[in-house]
Structure 1
Amino acid sequence: MGGLQAYWAQSDGIGRSVTLLLLAMSIGAWVLILWRGWLLRRVLADLPQAMAAFWQAGSLAEGQQRLAGLDREQLLSGMVSAALQAPATGTLQASGSPEAQLTRRLRDSLHSGLTRLQQGQVFLASVGATAPFVGLFGTVWGIYHALLGIAGAGNLAIDQIAGPVGEALVMTAAGLAVAIPAVLAYNLFGKWLGQCEAELEGFAHDLREIQLGADARRA
């Protein structure tokens, strides 16, 4: 903390802007890490229970009712609603067969749910990729600014250089401290998202087969 305070005290507008940018990136990354970690863990806990309750129902309508209290992110409920939706008429969408329309509705619902779950991944990847370079830029600029100040003073000694340069190097460490949690969270969330996607795709496939079978029996 002392190094950051010294860097801030001796820095100019550009150096302080770099410091504030790293601070904003860190705050944004940690907010996303905590929020998305909680959200994805809840989804991973909900999906097995909700699907087990759904498959014990006697009909799609009853299954949808069972999902009401278990599918808190409405991922499965959205696909069931899409399966129960009546085929479109009078549009280009209606030109496809009922099977094709059902597939399209389930696909759109699946993609909508996955898009919601993936929110924030791009930001975490961007922070993980750019924060070290932002910190390195802060270090380079801090060294340059410190050397200008030393040269202007007229007296050049190793102890006068070591202090400012060491304080500037803190920015490289700060950039790594911002980037590492973002990269680790991005990789972990990617694994969890893959698990959710596999579960939802399997559910959509089974739901499509059930609905097609029900339509065939009614026909």
Structure 2
Amino acid sequence: MTLLQLFGQGDAVTRFVAALLLAMSVASWVVIFWKGWLLRRATRDVGRSTAAFWQSPSLEQARQTVGAFDRESLVLPLIAATAGEPAGSLAAAGDRAQQLTRRLRDALHRILDKLQFGQVLLATVGATAPFIGLLGTVWGIYHALTAIAAEGQITIEKVAGPVGEALIMTAAGLAVAIPAVLGYNVYGRLIGRIEADLEGFARDLRELLTHPPVAVGGVETPP
């Protein structure tokens, strides 16, 4: 007995539960494969992009160099945030350090939103799929017991088949939930590492632009 067989033989509730579990499984696997590809590229690109930035002779040259490595546009928005705000706006009010902090923070939030996309779906599937499967199991057992009671005779053969078919829903719920939970935990750790690297780069970039080095005797030294 498979989910497709249950879908064909069950009633409206059984079919709805089976279809919902199938949709959740497809959605979670699409997110798992997509985020695996995205985070694999992001992990590599962030390290290469930040290294290329610090090896560049100027900020303008750094923008061009980083563009060749930052395929997912995770570092470039932070560099672009260093541009000044239009004069006469509230965004341009305050000192340079405050403006830069606000722009870098906003850019970092947009980047993290991109990296976090799909995590809510994986968490939702992992948390709800077992209970949806359990709903299908309870509903199936209810109908099995109702049919047995209508016949007026209970035997192992009559109980084992319908109850076993109903329990498939529980197994299906777990089969949908486990990959989603594993994907959520693994990708959450990878996102945390990338986030720490980006926050460190943003902090260093802010320090570089708010406390530029001072040339003394032809040698640049901290102020």
> What amino acid sits opposite 2:171 in the alignment?
A
Aligned partners of 1:87 and 1:98 also within 8 Å: no
Aligned residues: 215
Normalising by structure 2, report the TM-score: 0.91
* Superposition RMSD in Å: 1.7
**Inter-partner Cα distance in structure 2 for 1:157 and 1:9:** 25
Equivalence for 2:66: 67
Normalising by structure 1, report the TM-score: 0.92
How far does residue 4 in structure 1 lie from its aligned partner after superposition?
3.2
- 1:93-132 counterparts in 2 under 5 A? 93-132=91-130
How far does residue 98 in structure 1 lie from its aligned partner after superposition?
1.5
Q: Deviations over 1:66-102 (max 9, x none)?
A: 011100111111111111x123432322222121001
List runs of 5+ in structure 1 lacking aligned partners: none
Q: Does 1:33 find its partner at 2:32?
A: yes
**Structure 1 residues 105-114 or 204-213, which shifts more?**
204-213
How far does residue 36 in structure 1 lie from its aligned partner after superposition?
0.3
Q: Which has the higher helix share?
A: 1
**Inter-partner Cα distance in structure 1 for 2:16 and 2:146:** 19
> What amino acid sits opposite 2:80 in the alignment?
S
Higher relative contact order structure (alpha carbons within 8 Å, sequence separation ≥ 6): 1
How far does residue 173 in structure 1 lie from its aligned partner after superposition?
0.5
List runs of 5+ in structure 2 lacking aligned partners: 216-223
> What amino acid sits opposite 1:135 in the alignment?
G
**Inter-partner Cα distance in structure 2 for 1:216 and 1:20:** 66
Q: Secondary structure at the match of 2:112?
A: helix
Instruction: Select the residue among 169, 172, 183 that pairs with 1:185.
Output: 183
How far does residue 6 in structure 1 lie from its aligned partner after superposition?
4.6
**Inter-partner Cα distance in structure 2 for 1:128 and 1:26:** 10
**Inter-partner Cα distance in structure 2 for 1:137 and 1:216:** 69
Q: Does 1:162 find its partner at 2:198?
A: no
Q: Deviations over 1:123-145 (max 9, x none)?
A: 00000000000000000001112
Aligned partners of 1:4 and 1:167 also within 8 Å: no
**Inter-partner Cα distance in structure 2 for 1:23 and 1:66:** 45
Q: Secondary structure at the match of 1:57?
A: coil
